[in-house]
Amino acid sequence: MADLPTAVTQASVSGNGSFCFYKDQIVVVSEEGYIKKFDIDKTSGELKIDTTVPISQKVTEIVSNTKDNIVYSGKDKAVNMVFKEKFDKATKITNPSEPVHKLIYPNKKIVLICSEANHMDIYWIEKEKITKMIPEHDKPILNGDVDPGSEYIATTGCDGTLNICKLDFDPNKLELVYSSEISERVELYSEQKLQVKFSPDGKNLAIAGSKELRIAERNAFEDIKSVPEIAHDDPISQVCWVNSNILITADTQNVVKVWNFDTKKEVFKFTNPNDLVCMEYSQTNNCFALFDTEGCLVVSTQDFPSHKDLQPVEKEEKDDLPQSKGQDQKEDAEMEPEKPEESKFAGNYELDNDYPQEYNNTVNDFIGARPQVSIMPGNVTEDDQLEYRFLCWNQVGSVASRGEMNSKYIEVEFADKTFHKTIITEDEIETEMATLSHNGAFLASKAEEVDLDQYEDDTNGQKYISQLKFIPFTSWNSIKPWGLDLPKGENTEGVALGSTFCAVSTDSNYVRFFSLEGVQTFMMSCFHSVVCMAAYENLLCVVSHNGLPMLEAQNLKLKIIDTTKNYACIVETEVPVTPGATLQWMNFSEEGSLYTYDTDGIMRNLSFSHGNNWIPVLDVKQRYDIEPSKFWIIGISEGEISCCVLRARTYPTPIDKSHIQSFKLCIPLLGLDTTGKAEIKRENTADNEEKFIRESIELTHQQWRRHQWSSLRNSRTQKNPSYNQSKSIFTDIEMTQSKKALDKIIINSIRIAAHNDDKAKILSLARKLHLVKSYSLCITLLHEMKLPFVADELQKVMEKKEMEEQNERERQISSSQNSREKQVNKASSLSEKIMQARMNNMEKNSKTENAKKENPILARSMMKKEANESGVNKSVPNNPFANKENKKVHNKNFLNDLLGQKVEKKVSNLEKPKNAKQKL
Q: What is the pLDDT of residue 174?
A: 65
Q: What is the pLDDT of residue 135?
A: 62
Determine the Cα–Cα distance for residues 790 and 803; give it in Å rounded to an integer.
20
Mean pLDDT computed over 3-17: 64
Each residue of 581-592: pLDDT tens digit? 899 999 999 888
Q: Is 893 helix (H, G, I), strand (E, B) or coil?
A: helix
Mean pLDDT computed over 841-855: 72
Report strand pairing: 25-30 vs 34-40: antiparallel
The model's confidence at residue 418, banded by pLDDT at 50, 70 and 90, is confident
Lowest mean pLDDT among 181-190, 548-557, 708-717, 732-741: 708-717
DSSP state of 851: H
Q: What is the pLDDT of residue 206?
A: 92
Lowest mean pLDDT among 164-173, 617-626, 696-705, 814-823: 164-173
Q: What is the pLDDT of residue 294?
A: 79
Determine the Cα–Cα distance for residues 18 and 291; give it in Å rounded to an integer.
7
The model's confidence at residue 867, banded by pLDDT at 50, 70 and 90, is low
Q: Which of 304-313, 549-558, 799-808 has the highest mean pLDDT?
A: 549-558
Q: What is the pLDDT of residue 891?
A: 54
The model's confidence at residue 76, banded by pLDDT at 50, 70 and 90, is confident
Lowest mean pLDDT among 190-194, 234-238, 540-544: 190-194
Buried b (16+ CB within 10 A) or exposed e, 136-153: ebebbbbbbbbbeeeebb
User: Is 605 exposed, middle or buried (CB count within 10 Å of its CB: 0-12, 13-18, 19+)?
Assistant: buried
Determine the Cα–Cα distance for residues 97 and 823; give it in Å rounded to an integer.
75
pTM above 0.85, yes or no: no
The model's confidence at residue 463, banded by pLDDT at 50, 70 and 90, is very low
Determine the Cα–Cα distance for residues 759 and 360; give it in Å rounded to an integer.
58
Report strand pairing: 510-515 vs 501-506: antiparallel
The model's confidence at residue 38, banded by pLDDT at 50, 70 and 90, is confident
Dihedral sign for Cα atoms in the order 348, 352, 353, 357 = negative
Q: What is the pLDDT of residue 464?
A: 66
- Given a cut of 70, is residue 11 above it in pLDDT? no
Q: What is the pLDDT of residue 680?
A: 40
Residue 792 φ then ψ, to 5°: -65, -40
Q: What is the pLDDT of residue 515?
A: 92
Each residue of 164-188: pLDDT tens digit? 888 765 554 567 788 888 888 888 7
Determine the Cα–Cα distance for residues 5 and 322; give it in Å rounded to an integer.
11
Q: What is the pLDDT of residue 222?
A: 82
The percent of residues above 90 in pLDDT, for the chain, comes to 16
Q: Return the half-sphere exposure (C-beta side, CA atoms, 13 A cut-off) of residue 729.
A: 20
The model's confidence at residue 522, banded by pLDDT at 50, 70 and 90, is very high
Q: What is the pLDDT of residue 676?
A: 45
Each residue of 782-823: pLDDT tens digit? 888 787 777 888 788 787 777 777 777 777 777 777 767 777
Lowest mean pLDDT among 7-11, 659-663, 709-713: 7-11
Higher pLDDT, 867 or 231: 231
- Given a cut of 90, is residue 90 above it in pLDDT? no
Q: What is the pLDDT of residue 603?
A: 94
* Segment holding 699, helix H or strand E: helix 680-715
Q: What is the pLDDT of residue 130?
A: 80
The model's confidence at residue 343, banded by pLDDT at 50, 70 and 90, is very low
Dihedral sign for Cα atoms in the order 69, 70, 71, 76 = negative
Q: Measured over all CA atoms, what is the biggest interatomic distance in the chain, rounded to whole angstroms? A: 148
- Given a cut of 70, is residue 831 above it in pLDDT? yes
Q: What is the pLDDT of residue 718?
A: 67
Each residue of 744-779: pLDDT tens digit? 888 888 888 888 777 778 878 888 888 878 888 888
Q: Angle CA(723)–CA(726)–CA(732) in degrees, nearest 5?
A: 130
User: In one letter, which amino acid is 194?
Assistant: L
Report strand pairing: 161-166 vs 152-157: antiparallel
DSSP string, 471-519: EES--TT----EEEEPPTT--EEEEEE-SSEEEEEETTSEEEEEETTS-
The model's confidence at residue 93, banded by pLDDT at 50, 70 and 90, is confident
Of 380, 374, 418, 417, residue with least CA distance to 402: 380
Instruction: Determine contact, residues 69/111, Cβ cutoff 8 Å.
Output: no
DSSP string, 72-108: EEETT--EEEEETT-GGGPEEEE--SS-EEEEE--SS
Mean pLDDT computed over 705-728: 74
Residue 728 φ then ψ, to 5°: -80, 0
Q: How many CB atoms lie within 10 A of CB 82?
A: 23
The model's confidence at residue 595, banded by pLDDT at 50, 70 and 90, is very high
Strand ranges for 99-182 from DSSP E = 100-104, 110-115, 120-124, 129-133, 141-146, 152-157, 161-166, 175-181
For residue 14, what are the contacts with CB-CB under 8 A and spacing of at least 6? Answer: 30, 31, 32, 295, 348, 370
Q: What is the pLDDT of residue 475?
A: 63
Q: Which of 287-296, 352-361, 842-851 has the highest mean pLDDT?
A: 287-296
Distance from the Cα of residue 124 to its chain's centroid = 39
Q: What is the pLDDT of residue 451?
A: 47
Of 272, 312, 329, residue with least CA distance to 295: 272
Residue 270 φ then ψ, to 5°: -150, 135
Higher pLDDT, 311 or 583: 583
Each residue of 98-157: pLDDT tens digit? 888 888 888 777 888 888 777 788 888 777 778 777 666 778 888 888 888 888 888 888
Q: What is the pLDDT of residue 249?
A: 94
Q: What is the pLDDT of residue 5?
A: 63
**Residue 231, beta-bridge partner list:** 212
Mean pLDDT computed over 873-887: 46
The model's confidence at residue 366, banded by pLDDT at 50, 70 and 90, is low
Mean pLDDT computed over 494-516: 92
Determine the Cα–Cα distance for residues 373 and 392; give it in Å rounded to an integer.
18
Of 267, 326, 354, residue with least CA distance to 2: 267
DSSP state of 16: S
Mean pLDDT computed over 340-359: 40
For residue 790, what are the contacts with CB-CB under 8 A and spacing of at least 6? Answer: 754, 759, 762, 763, 782
The mean of the pLDDT values for the chain is 77
Of 512, 509, 492, 491, residue with least CA distance to 501: 512
Higher pLDDT, 496 or 843: 496
User: In one letter, which amino acid is 2?
Assistant: A
Q: What is the pLDDT of residue 907?
A: 43
